[in-house]
Structure 1
Amino acid sequence: MVIEIDFNSDEAIYVQLMNQIIMGIATSRLQEGDPLPSVRQLADTIGINMHTVNKAYSLLRQEGFVTIDRRRGAIIAIDVDKMKALEEMKQNLMVALARGYCKNISRAEVHDLIDEIFDEYGIE
């Protein structure tokens, strides 16, 4: 998996790293059980601090995207708690939809955008 960090972005590096791993899972580039690079290895490859990678991995673990084992490292392990995931998604969507509403984005445009994203993931 190739991780690309935009060092000029206003978005924190650990957030960019997390988002790219989540997108890798959503697009099936990363599968349940796949190991992620060690903290040191990924930090060296990208050219960032090990603490930044560790923070991203820890947050991914808290959100149920990975498990962390001292011997095996970080492993993709998707949380099966669907109700919790739906509630978190609802909260995030409420804010995103409110922002769109303030910018006069219509319901039809939102539906089209969601369909486009689901098509990218290959989801029916």
Structure 2
Amino acid sequence: MDLEIDPLSPTPIYQQIRDRIVEGIARGELPRGQRLPSVRALAGAFAINPATVSKAYDLLRAEGLVVTNAKSGTVIAPAGDWTEAAAWQSRLRTLLAEARAHGLAEKQILDAAAHQLDTLSPVGSER
């Protein structure tokens, strides 16, 4: 797994880890059932506190994107019922409101959304 973290970013490192894993799942780079690095291994790779990685994994677990057990560690969760749809809709609404508040037209917002969706499409697939 190739994660890129920017220590100078205003986005907290735990959030960057969470976001990169979500993007990897969306692109098909992290298939269902794939084991993620252990908390200690990932923390060591980035020379960060293990609590930072734990926080990222905790978020992913709460969102139903990973599961953890003593035998297999933390793995990408199987596809299933999405219990966070309402929270996602709320975040999406806020992002759209921010775009509107900054003066973007509907077409600009839709074009930007389509472009971002394209960047997340698994290789060889169509929207």
Normalised by the size of structure 1, how large is the TM-score? 0.91
Aligned-residue CA RMSD (Å): 1.4
Q: Deviations over 1:22-77 (max 9, x none)?
A: 01111111010000001111111111111111111111101111000112110001
- In structure 1, distance between residues paired with 2:87 and 2:67: 19
Whose relative contact order is higher, 1 or 2, with alpha carbons under 8 Å and at least 6 apart?
A: 2
Is 1:74 paired with 2:74? yes
Letter in 2 for 1:112: D
**Cα displacement (A) at 1:86:** 3.0
Q: Corresponding residue for 1:86? A: 85
How many pairs were matched up? 123
Equivalent pair of 1:3/1:46 in contact (CA under 8 Å): no
Q: SS state of the match for residue 3, structure 1?
A: coil
State the identity %: 35
Which runs of structure 1 show a deviation greater than 4 angstroms over 4 or more consecutive aligned residues?
Answer: none
TM-score by length of structure 2 reads 0.89
Partner residue in 1 for 2:29: 29
- Structure 1 unaligned runs (5+)? none
Q: Confirm or deny: 8 A CA contact 1:64 1:77 kept in the other structure.
A: yes
**Structure 2 runs not aligned, ≥5 long:** none
Contact 1:64 1:78 in 2 (8 A): no
Corresponding residue number in structure 2 for 1:65: 65
